Amino acid sequence: MFDPESPPELQAAAWFNADPPPTLKGLKGKVVVMAAFQQHCPGSLRHGLPQAARIAGAFSDDEVVVIGLNTPFEHTDKQDKAALEAFLAEHELPFPVALDKANGKSLPKTMEAYEIQGTPTVLLFDRQGRLRRHYLGQVDDLRLGAEVMALTIEARDAPREQSIALERRLAAVLTDPNAHHHHDGGCCGGHGHSHDHDHSEGGGCCGGHGHAHDHDHSHEHAHAHGKGGCGCGHDH
């Protein structure tokens, strides 16, 4: 069962813009924003990757690290290492990008391990390496920026009570991204599911075919649809 308190390490077939390749363990102490995408996905091209580049440019590398994760689960023969290298050269992405490792199944390894439902997806990790947000689809820049900033302010060794207080404060000041949820086109079969925790006041959850995984943890991990819709999704 997936545990956001101790999320799995990334499994990559190749890395670009990264020497040496980063690891989640090695990035502890920093806030990590991971953007999962596909090279042909309209939502990734229109929103997910440009947003990741904006986040990378807005925050210091010493505090916030942005990682791209190419998760081929559609047209996999057109999203190999050579294709990703050409894609990155064309789009000039300024942050490290990993090619998810094939699993011999429909989904690559990291995508399956994190229960990613489609692309674009944003995963947000705190300084202690815990997964604090999991958004499928478009997330507003202001909201994501506010959440990243809040996690940078949280101490590197913050006790759980401080994390809970921060989540409650975010819930009080940020509107629910699902309150006016809609898809802007191009979403094909993605469905949301939630990881519910004792304190889940903020971030929101949405799932047409949703299923919940209950954990006895007391900080929030939001696993929700972004307000603007996804580009590509899978059924499982």
Rounded mean pLDDT, 143-160: 95
Per-residue confidence (pLDDT) for residue 53, from 0 to 100:
97
With bands split at pLDDT 50, 70 and 90, how would you rate the model's confidence at 200?
very low
What the chain holds in terms of domains, given with CATH numbers, is 12-233 (3.40.30.10)
Residue 92's pLDDT is 94
When pLDDT is cut at 50, 70 and 90, the band that residue 165 belongs to is very high
pLDDT band (50, 70, 90) for residue 220 = very low
97 and 69 in contact (C-beta within 8 Å)? yes
Report d(CA 29, CA 25) in Å as an integer.
9
Percent of all residues in the chain with a pLDDT value above 90, rounded to a whole number: 70
Return mean pLDDT, the chain: 82
Question: What pLDDT does residue 140 have?
Answer: 94
Whether 209 has a pLDDT exceeding 80, the answer reads no
Span 158-171, average pLDDT: 93
pLDDT digits (tens, 9 = 90+) for 44-75: 999 999 999 999 999 999 999 999 999 999 98
Q: Which pLDDT value is given to residue 45?
A: 97
Q: Edge-to-edge, what's the strand order for the sheet holding 12-16?
A: 12-16, 97-100, 64-70, 31-37, 121-125, 131-136, 222-225
